[in-house]
Amino acid sequence: MKRLLTLFVLSALAAPLAARADGSIQLNASAAVSKPFGDIGNGAKLSDTVDWAFPLAASVAFRVTRQVAVGAYGRFAPTTLRSACSGCSANDVGFGAQVEYRFSEKLEGGPWLGASAGYQMLQQKANVSGSSLSSKLSGWEGAFQGGSDWELGGVSVGPFLQLAFGEYGTEKVGSSSRSIASKGLHGFFGGGVRLTLLL
């Protein structure tokens, strides 16, 4: 009897969620521009190295309800450097999990908010006396996003803003790796355009 009652209660609680579940797959692709701020670590500023970043991101998510989607993202962001350096380059790479909430129960379009958490790497290359030198900073990251989409020929397109933040914990130069002793919080703030497709 207790088992039947438990199953009944669980079924009753799950019914509203199941009734509203969309079950579709949401694909996103975005392009943005962002400005760095904060510390790399050991007293160094991120903005002393990176001037602008241009994130290109993609994500796939499952609509657990008509308003909530949970999934994973990946990002590659070429950057421009603060100081002129022949043969130097840097890019920001990140990946992790994300969740998105839509204010409307419409399948497409409307305002939305999102949050994510994952792992990031700032990869740098330089030519020193004819030799190539590479370095990498890595650590955790998080972000908050918000925007609005409009339906356009079977897809949704719209602008968004994003505030990303994180902390580098490890620095690797060549084949040598070490922990950053005095860590600092850094971030990127920017905006761009996002395209959404439901499958």
Q: For the CA atoms of the chain, what is the radius of gyration?
A: 21
Task: Give the SS3 label for residue 134.
Answer: strand
Mean pLDDT within 50-61:
97
Percentage, residues of the chain above pLDDT 70: 87
Residues 93-108 have pLDDT tens digits of 999 999 999 998 877 7
Largest CA distance in the chain: 80
Per DSSP, which regions of the chain are E strands?
Answer: 25-41, 44-45, 50-53, 56-63, 68-81, 89-102, 110-128, 131-152, 155-173, 176-179, 185-198
Domain 21-198, architecture per CATH: Beta Barrel (2.40)
What does the domain layout of the chain look like in residue ranges? 21-198
Lowest mean pLDDT among 3-7, 46-50, 81-85, 162-166: 3-7
Contact 167, 196 (CB under 8 A): no
Contact 110, 67 (CB under 8 A): no
Residues 7-48 have pLDDT tens digits of 433 443 343 344 345 679 999 999 999 999 999 988 899 999
Answer whether residue 53 shows pLDDT above 70: yes
Contact 26, 61 (CB under 8 A): yes
